[in-house]
Amino acid sequence: MRDVAVIGVGMIPFGRRDEDTLMDMLAYASLKALDDAGLGDKSVDAVYVGNMGGGVIQHQTAIASSLVDRLSLLPAAAETVENGPASGGSAVKAGLLAVASGYYDTVLVVGGEKMREVTGWRATDFVATLTHPQVEYPYGITLPGMAGMFTRLYMEKYGVTREALVSVAIKNQEMGGLNPYAHVEMAITKEGIFDDPAAIVNNPVAADPLHLYDACPVSDGAAAIVLCPLEMLKSPAKPPVIIAGFGQATDTQTLQEREDPTDLKAVTLAAQQAFERARLKPSDIHVAELHDAFTILEIAESEHVGFFKKGEGAKAALAGKTRLGGQIPINVSGGLKARGHPVGATGVAQVVDIVWQLRHELPKNRQVKNAQNGLTVNFGGFGNNVLAFVLRRVEK
Amino acid sequence: MRDVAVIGVGMIPFGRRDEDTLMDMLAYASLKALDDAGLGDKSVDAVYVGNMGGGVIQHQTAIASSLVDRLSLLPAAAETVENGPASGGSAVKAGLLAVASGYYDTVLVVGGEKMREVTGWRATDFVATLTHPQVEYPYGITLPGMAGMFTRLYMEKYGVTREALVSVAIKNQEMGGLNPYAHVEMAITKEGIFDDPAAIVNNPVAADPLHLYDACPVSDGAAAIVLCPLEMLKSPAKPPVIIAGFGQATDTQTLQEREDPTDLKAVTLAAQQAFERARLKPSDIHVAELHDAFTILEIAESEHVGFFKKGEGAKAALAGKTRLGGQIPINVSGGLKARGHPVGATGVAQVVDIVWQLRHELPKNRQVKNAQNGLTVNFGGFGNNVLAFVLRRVEK
């Protein structure tokens, strides 16, 4: 099994991109990553696109072949990889395995989604296409609905407070304000949420006990990476970062079938596999991008991956341990909460952000000093298909 | 790179399966392949689902995770792979690379589609989601429309006659009648098509010069295979078949951008790669499953993969060289024309049929005697993303 390096990364600003088609966004992010890798466009053997909604939203399929043509990368092989909100992570995995297998040397992985083409209930309905078609979807359960129930259980079992949830939103929106790629750049304060009467309007209940600011926005966006075997890097222009570990696990599709619905088994398993393969442990990680589609998820995942004991994540968040400069900075990018969550893009964007961290390329107010190892967690469904990647800076 | 063996195969009868959901079909085919492989259900590390229309037709995404739950294969990794009508081939490729990479030992690949949930123009519109969203789709071009124009060009350039096209339909529908998994079991005759006045009604022009019987039907169906490293097979119950070669190539999305629209470059390239990797040549192949979504494609592909010279495919078909017992039997299963073309299933079904041939498991009237090497071609878009696999029987 060959070590696989990330030799190029690129992202376009997430948000509302009415002027771009899905294909435009995929192409822009790809060109940035290819440029970052210093590659001419004849150098890619295969392309993987992470996308969930091309068929449902854009009424468009086979977008990977189309992208290869658009980028003049013919006759490179191409596939779309779909795995709900973990489609981006699954595309990164596809690229990793493709290079590791020896079949391909240079692989472009790009994730993207144009979600704002559908708004309001249609956006929620689009994401709900991942729910169970017989026992969930017809009854109207949505992802925010599941997250609400999960949050209530978590609050009751572990004494998590709304203050803890809000602290995650405040931290991530603050970081979003510093990130030029973030969708949400608006800072929020504890006082604004708890003491300002306007919060009833500005931050209404979305799915009790979750409020609007506990959820990620509906965003357009794309991100891309270029992979190649580490052994092929002779004198890299930038510090090489390898995918040192990868893990993935599935769980029951419906929450009610789980022995303990607050136990995100697939997160635990995916992270364990990734750490094992990387021969690292949670305490070796210097920076992490977790899948905070809802504030509770950042807290829950920070426990399940092993940064904190079960039930300690909320306290850690309140104590600032997950802030830049803290014990383990989480979602310095702003996370899904603020960078945004164009579903197919997210898993790739997380890797891009960690690569920037490990190359030490970010401005001071966002850079984790001397970061050598990073972790990403991309959470599909409601935790029924989770991917984790451990990235490591290597010296060449 | 490890040699990868196909240790289990399964298929369900293609056709109209109103009583089954897409998930039912995927599950049935998977269980058959797992059973054929002699595997208990805890033995699968990863699952790849080839599917094109889950989002568009069933309004359902993340079906791979759902399938893993349905089959009690938790916590196996799972992804859906989409590549238009080559989604099945792309899922087989994903499984091949996953095992070759060393990340996974036992991988289930299943392709399926429930297309008859949409009928008439909606079925055609679904397939047209793979056309170019700016320069093709809005103008109403469909896949049959493209195939019609391609056929006209091919007839003019190479003197292909309607008799040659019809001979492919007759052969494949005859073979479909012998295949218990085939959708179309009705035999047709040259006289019935050319001399019977009823043909005007029974076999109307679909996209001039193509008639109804030149096109594959709209089918429901699923097929599955189980892969593992050849080295892990100690005393296999059935003759092992390996994926000896794999090739894939993309081409421009639109036909009009190709220097010569009759030149299916991606077919040539994919087949060349597959032969090269397998260290075999076209004349070493004993049986082939080609992507005859339209009769012209079987003829054109038989030339592009190297069985016949350019312009000789039609003559070969008319001379019976592609029939069982001929020089190179093509689509002994009935092909897409008669077995049917549930798009996500096709690329997997082709591999299943070749494995049966190479194991010598078929009844006499469908078995190619002593077949050792087989070829499959799965054709995505209008030849803009093509996958080819060379399968080889090995003795253990």
SS3 of chain A: the string is CCCEEEEEEEECCCECCCCCCHHHHHHHHHHHHHHHCCCCCCCCCEEEEECCCCCCCCCCCCHHHHHHHHCCCCCCEEEEEEECECHHHHHHHHHHHHHHCCCCCCEEEEEEEECCCCCCHHHHHHHHHHCCCCCCHHHCCCHHHHHHHHHHHHHHHHCCCHHHHHHHHHHHHHHHCCCCCCCCCCCCCHHHHHCCCCHHHHCCEEECCEEHHHECCCCEEEEEEEEEEHHHCCCCCCCCEEEEEEEEEECCCCHHHCCCCCCCHHHHHHHHHHHHHHCCCHHHCCEEECCCCEHHHHHHHHHHCCCCCCCCHHHHHHCCCCCCCCCCCECCCCHHHHHCCCHHHHHHHHHHHHHHHHHCCCCCCCCCCCCCEEEEEEEECCCCEEEEEEEEECCC
pLDDT band at B119; cut points 50, 70, 90 = confident
State the average pLDDT over residues A79-93. Answer: 98
Which pLDDT band, with edges at 50, 70 and 90, does B234 fall under?
confident
Res. B43: pLDDT tops 90: no
Mean pLDDT, residues B120-134: 93
Position A338 in a domain: no
- Give the gap in angstroms from C-alpha B151 to the nearest C-alpha of chain A: 23
Inside any domain, residue B26: yes
Say whether A82 and B62 touch across the interface (CB within 8 A): yes
**pLDDT, position B269:** 98
How would you class A102 by CB atoms within 10 Å of its CB: exposed for 0-12, middle for 13-18, buried for 19 or more?
Answer: middle
DSSP per-residue codes, B89-110: HHHHHHHHHHHHTTS-S-EEEE
- Looking at the complex, does the CB of residue A80 fall below 8 Å from at least one CB of chain B? yes
With an 8 Å Cβ cutoff, are A265 and B83 in contact?
Answer: no
What is the pLDDT confidence band of residue A240, given thresholds at 50, 70 and 90? very high
A290 has a chain B CB within 8 A of its CB: no
**Contact (Cβ atoms closer than 8 angstroms) between residue A36 and residue A10:** yes
Q: Which of A55, A62, A69 has its CB closest to that of B252?
A: A69
Which of A69, A81, A266 is the closest to B250 by Cβ? A69
Do residues B33 and B224 make contact, with C-beta atoms less than 8 angstroms apart?
yes
Q: Do B52 and A66 touch (CB under 8 A)?
A: no
pLDDT of residue A42: 63
Q: Is residue B228 part of a domain?
A: yes
**How far away is chain A from the Cα of B37, in angstroms, using its nearest Cα?**
23
User: How confident is the model over B32-58, as a mean pLDDT?
Assistant: 92
Residue A30 lies in a domain: yes
Interface of A with B in 26-55 (CB under 8 A): 52-55
Answer yes or no: is pLDDT of A41 > 80: no
Is pLDDT above 80 for B291? yes
User: What residue numbers bound the domain in which B16 lies?
Assistant: 4-119+218-232
Indicate the pLDDT class of residue B120, thresholds 50, 70 and 90: confident
| C-beta atoms of A381 and B129 within 8 A | no
pLDDT at B220: 98
- Closest CB to A100 among B23, B101, B385: B101
- The reply to whether A327 falls in a domain is no
Q: How many structural domains compose chain A?
A: 1
In chain A, residues with a C-beta closer than 8 Å to the C-beta of B56 are: 55-56, 59, 61
- Give B330 to chain A, closest Cα distance, Å: 25
Whether the CB of B269 is below 8 Å from some CB of chain A: the reply is yes
- B123 in contact with A, Cβ within 8 Å: no
Q: Is B93 on the interface with A (CB under 8 A)?
A: yes
Interface test mutation site (partner A, options B47, B68, B101, max chain A beta carbons within 10 A): B101
Judging contacts by C-beta atoms under 8 Å, the chain B residues touching residue A105 are none
Instruction: Return the percentage of chain B with pLDDT > 90, whole number.
Output: 95
Confirm whether A57 is domain-assigned.
Answer: yes
Query: Choosing among A114, A250, A259, A386, which should be mutated to test the B contact, i.e. which has the most B CBs within 10 A?
Result: A250
B248 closest CB neighbour out of A54, A77, A134:
A77
Predicted local distance difference test score (pLDDT) of residue A54: 97
pLDDT exceeds 80 at position A44: yes
Tell me, what's the pLDDT at A68? 97
Confidence class for position B41, pLDDT limits 50, 70, 90: low
Tell whether the model's pLDDT for residue B40 goes beyond 80.
Answer: no
> At residue A1, does pLDDT exceed 90?
no
The verdict on B59 touching A (C-beta cutoff 8 Å) is yes
Share of chain A above pLDDT 70, in %: 99
* pLDDT confidence band for A126 (50 / 70 / 90): very high
| pLDDT of res. B395 | 85
User: Does A314 have pLDDT greater than 90?
Assistant: yes
In this predicted structure, what is the pLDDT of residue B236? Answer: 87
Is A92 an interface residue toward B (CB < 8 Å)?
no
Q: Nearest CA to CA, how far is A237 from chain B (Å)? A: 27
**B79·A80 Cβ contact <8 A:** no
pLDDT surpassing 80 at residue A396: no
Q: What is the mean pLDDT of residues B67-79?
A: 97
Give the pTM.
0.98
Which pLDDT band, with edges at 50, 70 and 90, does A297 fall under? very high
How many Cβ contacts (< 8 angstroms) between chains A and B?
196
Q: Which two tokens stand for residue A158?
A: 């572990």
Q: Which of A39-48, A230-239, B48-57, B187-196 has the lowest mean pLDDT?
A: A39-48
If you average pLDDT over residues A113-130, what whole number do you get?
92
Whether B48 has a pLDDT exceeding 80, the answer reads: yes
Cross-chain Cβ contact B65/A384 below 8 Å: yes
User: CB distance B83–A80 less than 8 Å?
Assistant: yes
CB contact under 8 A, B62 and A83: yes
Q: Judge: A78–B265 Cβ closer than 8 Å, yes or no.
A: no
Interface test mutation site (partner B, options A4, A79, A248, A267, max chain B beta carbons within 10 A): A79
Q: With 90 as the cut, is the pLDDT of residue A146 above it?
A: yes
Confidence (pLDDT) at B286:
98
pLDDT classification of B42: cutoffs 50, 70, 90: low
Asked if residue B155 has pLDDT above 70, the reply is yes
pLDDT tens-digit series, residues A49-70: 999 999 999 999 999 999 999 9
B283 interface with A at CB cutoff 8 Å: no
Instruction: Answer yes or no: is pLDDT of A317 > 80.
Output: yes
Q: Is A273 on the interface with B (CB under 8 A)?
A: no
Name every chain B residue with its beta carbon within 8 A of the beta carbon of A65.
83-84, 250, 253, 380-381, 384-385
Contacts with A, B 328-367, CB within 8 Å:
none
| Nearest-Cα residue of chain B relative to residue A104 | B97
The rounded distance, in Å, linking the Cα atoms of B182 and B339 is 4
How confident is the model at residue A344, as a pLDDT?
Answer: 98
User: For all residues of chain B together, what is the average pLDDT?
Assistant: 96
Give the list of residues 6+ apart from residue A195 with CB closer than 8 angstroms, or none: none
Question: The complex's ipTM?
Answer: 0.98
Tell me what percent of the residues of chain B surpass a pLDDT of 70.
99
B187 at A interface, C-beta within 8 A: no
Task: Show residues of chain B in contact with A76, CB under 8 Å.
Answer: 250
Give me the CATH number covering residue B227. Answer: 3.40.47.10
Question: What integer pLDDT is reported at residue B165 of this predicted model?
Answer: 98
Q: Tens digits of per-residue pLDDT, B367-396? A: 999 999 999 999 999 999 999 999 999 987
